[in-house]
Amino acid sequence: MTNPWRATVLTLFPDMFPGPLGVSLAGRALAGGLWQLEARDIRASATDRHRSVDDTPAGGGPGMVLRADVLAAAIDAAKIDPERPRLLMSPRGRPLTQARIVELARGPGPLIVCGRFEGVDQRVIDGRGLEEVSIGDYVLSGGEIAAMALIDSCVRLLPGVMGKEASGTEESFSDGLLEYPQYTRPQLFEGAPIPDILTSGDHAKVASWRRAQSEALTAARRPDLWAQIPSKAPNRAGRQKTPKNKTDG
């Protein structure tokens, strides 16, 4: 029997976990043994009587920095297998994408370091091979919330977690596009009906409509994503029009 997917989190606030990961899909999967979570206290690797984990920045400046020796000791104490990714949640990291989430979900599960203060001593990032990952262009108080977002994104893709297999493939970013609009009953809500095509029973037309909607939304809201879609993609920003010949009416 293979070992379940496992997330090992290094944090100064282990009591924050499982938090939201203990409810809904992730929580049921955790209780059912489909994945495992280990929250380890970085402060347990401190060596002085005050359990100090940080110090002032070399070269001056505001705030404090997580010490390399303490964090390295915490990483080593976790004793994770070499094939498991080592991540550091950081606003300067590479943006997290659905493609990277799929990779992580297919693997054995990562070790995730949650930073605090002004950051982490660069020497432990380099010395322990930490991959810096960002969930957006903004700054949080610490990496814990970012780690939860990453873990939740992975867990929902694990076999047996979601009710329908298609749920993980027909959604935003699964093919580089934002998801199409969704509707359900009632048929008429505050004067707005469900689009007729969705209740037509014509699956081919529904699929075409959804693709066109996804492309239009992506082009309008996420031009950065849209720029990565090959120009030959069908239904770009709707349906591509064939230029009229001068002899056409």
Question: For residue 41, what is the enclosing H or E element?
Answer: strand 35-41
Lowest mean pLDDT among 21-30, 37-46, 80-89, 171-180: 171-180
- Over range 27-41, report the average pLDDT: 98
Question: From residue 110, how far is each of 3, 9, 43, 85, 131 by CA, in Å?
Answer: 13, 8, 20, 5, 11
Within 51-197, strands assigned E span 54-55, 65-66, 86-95, 111-114, 131-134, 188-189, 192-193
Residue 172 has pLDDT above 70, yes or no: no
CA–CA distances in Å: residue 108 to residues 103, 143, 201, 242? 10, 21, 42, 49
What local confidence, expressed as pLDDT, does residue 163 receive?
Answer: 75
Kindly state the average pLDDT of the residues 4-18: 98
Look at residue 44 in the predicted model and tell me its pLDDT. Answer: 98
User: Which secondary-structure segment (H or E) carries 227?
Assistant: none
| 181-192 pLDDT tens trace | 999 999 999 999
The letter for the amino acid at 166 is A
User: What is residue 231's predicted lDDT score, i.e. its pLDDT?
Assistant: 65
pLDDT over threshold 70, residue 63:
yes
Rounded CA separation 140/157 (Å): 26
- The length of the chain in residues reads 249
Band of pLDDT at residue 170, cut at 50, 70 and 90: low
- In order of 84, 102, 163, 191, 202, the CA distances from 33 in angstroms are 19, 20, 16, 46, 41
Strands 54-55 and 65-66: antiparallel
- Residue 167 has what pLDDT? 54
Q: If 0-12 CB within 10 Å is exposed, 13-18 middle and 19+ buried, where does residue 3 land?
A: exposed
Q: According to the model, what pLDDT value does residue 166 have?
A: 45
What pLDDT shows up at residue 230? Answer: 82
Q: Are 168 and 157 in contact (CB under 8 A)?
A: yes
Quote the CA–CA distance of 221 and 218 in Å, as a whole number. 5
Question: What is the rounded CA–CA span in Å between residue 81 and residue 8?
Answer: 11
Backbone phi, psi, residue 40, to 5°: -110, 140
Residue among 36, 1, 22, 9 nearest 158 (CA): 36
Residue 214: the pLDDT is 95
Per-residue model confidence as pLDDT tens digits over 205-244? 999 999 999 999 999 999 999 999 886 344 444 444 433 4
